[in-house]
Amino acid sequence: MEAPLPTPLPPPPALPADELAEEGEPLAEEFERFFLCPLCGARVSVLLDPSVESQTLIEDCEVCCQPLEIRYTVEEGKIAEFEVQAA
């Protein structure tokens, strides 16, 4: 019976330098923002698109299903202002 050949280990994958970018920067195409619903007080979230400089959205609250007006502005890919009120 022949001894099995030792399996050579594959070389470790090289990490691109980009992987080491600063953490905590929301560079995703869109990101989730949490807020308290002004109508029912529940903590709900909305997906924002940081590529749009300034936007007003009408979103229904996930909990009380009432329409909310969400206004936000983006600076350098981050939310600079964020406001929610009953629509």
CA distance linking residue 61 with residue 87, whole number of Å: 11
Binding Zn ion by CB under 5 A: which of 31, 37, 57, 79?
Answer: 37
Q: Closest approach of Cβ 79 to Zn ion, in Å? A: 20
Q: To the nearest 10°, report the CA torsion of 21, 29, 33, 45.
A: -140
Least distance CB 60 / Zn ion (angstroms): 9
Question: What residues form DSSP beta bridges with 75?
Answer: 78
Task: Pick one of 27, 36, 64, 80: the residue that binds Zn ion (CB under 5 A).
Answer: 64
Q: Structure tokens of 9?
A: 């280990």
**Residues that bind Zn ion in the complex, under the rule CB under 5 A:** 37, 39-40, 61, 63-64
